Amino acid sequence: MVDHNQFRIKQLAYKWLQGTCTPEEEAELQEWYETSNGEPLPIPEGLATDEQQLKELLFSNIKQEIQASKIRRIPQRVKLGGIAAALALLFILPLYLVKRTSGDSQRVAVKMQQQVHPGIKAAVLTLADGTKIDLSAQQQSVLHQDEQVKVITTASGTVQYQFTASRKTATSRTNTIETPIGTEYTIILADGSKVWLNAGSVLTFPESFASNSREVKLSGEGYFEVSHDSKRPFYVRSNEQTIRVFGTHFNVRSYPNENNKTTLIAGSVQVSQFGKSKMLKPGQAAFTTGGNLIVAEANIEEAMAWKNGFFYFESTPIKDALAAIKRWYNVDIVYKGTNEKRELTGKIKRNSTAQQLVETLNFLDIKCRLENNKIEVEL
């Protein structure tokens, strides 16, 4: 008989909900249910799964299991095991979201001498004359206005450029918007294109675009919705890479000392680097590795997760995953151990408290603790 403990069963339940359980793991989960007497299984609050999502996943898995049993010959115990496990989880579902165990709180060793918060909506805007404007206050106002441009903020926390002069009389003036560590922000450029900036990003752009092209520079991560203009192609330059845009939605990740990655959601883009150019179709991503530019099928949910309020990791190297967490929570990461090949799979809410974050990481088998402004991780 397998020794079932809460932590192991939580791992199996999460894998089952994600559809990644092996037959042996499904059998182990079924065995737990048969001997558990309905023992509730807690889910950390930071895990990005609400009750409705869980129900949809459960019913979907049950339906697929039943349909599969009609066309495949599989052992009766395995066939019923998947359905039984799903129903068992469904019956105790209401308890998932409210019950916490003392075992978890002891495992997670959190010391909150200093409160750590998730990121906020804020940025610093630098005008052409060097004036810096703090964009952390979410209220509608006019930030700057002259004969060429009007810059306003909206109550929802967006800065918008409104070009007021003709292109023939306009002068080229460069502005910069920066989202420091622990912040994110949205900007609408003078042509109507919209850019969401992730933490630790810098976007350099003109107050007004030229009559024959539009060009911006990005360091960090941004999601773009580019206004179509067949006479003025849109270019994003980032970390020795150029992206030519043909009116489209796409995500660019280009942090210093990290590989570039461009994911196309809709429309068409051309990515150029290392003297090579690649055209992307919706659902594809271009990324750099070992001096090569590669095009592959994209994980759209992963690319869009940060914009939609989540961290999404799928077999992500642990240090890459924690680099994203560090940028958002503005914490130091300290590693103990030498197993740098560890990976993280999971979906975590970006508005989780620091304590919820650490509990969720432990739930996902990343043993860590929070002390002051530092997360210690055992590799």
DSSP assignment of 151-171: EEE-TTSEEEEEE-S-TTT--
Query: Which is it for strands 158-163 and 174-179: parallel, antiparallel or unpaired?
Result: unpaired
Do the domains 309-378 and 120-296 match in fold? no
Q: Specify the pLDDT at position 115.
A: 66
Here the tokens at position 225 are: 């919705």
Q: Please, are residues 52 and 358 in contact by the beta-carbon 8 Å criterion? A: no
Three-class secondary structure of residue 3 per DSSP: coil
Taking Cα atoms as reference points, which of 332, 341, 319, 320 lies closest to residue 376? 332
182 φ/ψ angles, rounded to the nearest 5 degrees:
85, 15
Identify the three-state secondary structure at position 60: helix
pLDDT tens, residue order, the chain (379 aa) = 445 566 676 667 766 666 677 888 878 877 776 666 555 455 566 666 554 555 454 444 444 444 444 444 444 444 434 444 443 443 333 333 333 333 333 333 333 345 688 999 999 999 999 999 999 876 788 999 988 889 999 878 899 999 886 655 666 799 999 999 999 999 999 999 999 999 999 999 999 898 889 999 999 999 999 999 988 999 999 988 999 998 799 999 999 989 999 999 999 999 999 889 999 999 999 999 888 999 999 999 999 999 999 999 988 999 999 999 999 999 999 999 888 788 998 889 999 988 889 988 988 888 999 988 899 999 8
Q: Residue 117 in contact with residue 100, Cβ under 8 Å?
A: no
DSSP state string for 89-101: HHHTHHHHTT---
Contacts of 75 (CB under 8 A, 6+ apart): none
Residues 6+ apart with CB under 8 A from 21: 12, 15, 29
CB count in 10 Å sphere of residue 354: 20
CATH fold for domain 309-378: Phage tail protein beta-alpha-beta fold (3.55.50)
Tell me yes or no: is domain 120-296 CATH 2.60.120.1440.
yes
Record the tokens describing residue 270, joined without a space: 């051309």
Q: What DSSP designation does 74 have?
A: -
Q: Quick one: tokens of 106?
A: 């002891």
Spans of all domains in the chain: 6-107, 120-296, 309-378
Distances in whole angstroms, Cα of residue 125 to Cα of each of 59, 159, 219, 241, 328: 48, 9, 15, 24, 19
CB of 7 closer than 8 Å to CB of 107? yes
pTM for the full predicted model: 0.75
Output the DSSP codes for 255-324: -TTS--EEEEEES-EEEEETTEEEEE-TTEEEEEETTEEEEEE--HHHHHTTTTTEEEEEEEEHHHHHHH
> How far is the C-alpha of 252 from the C-alpha of 95, rounded, in Å?
40
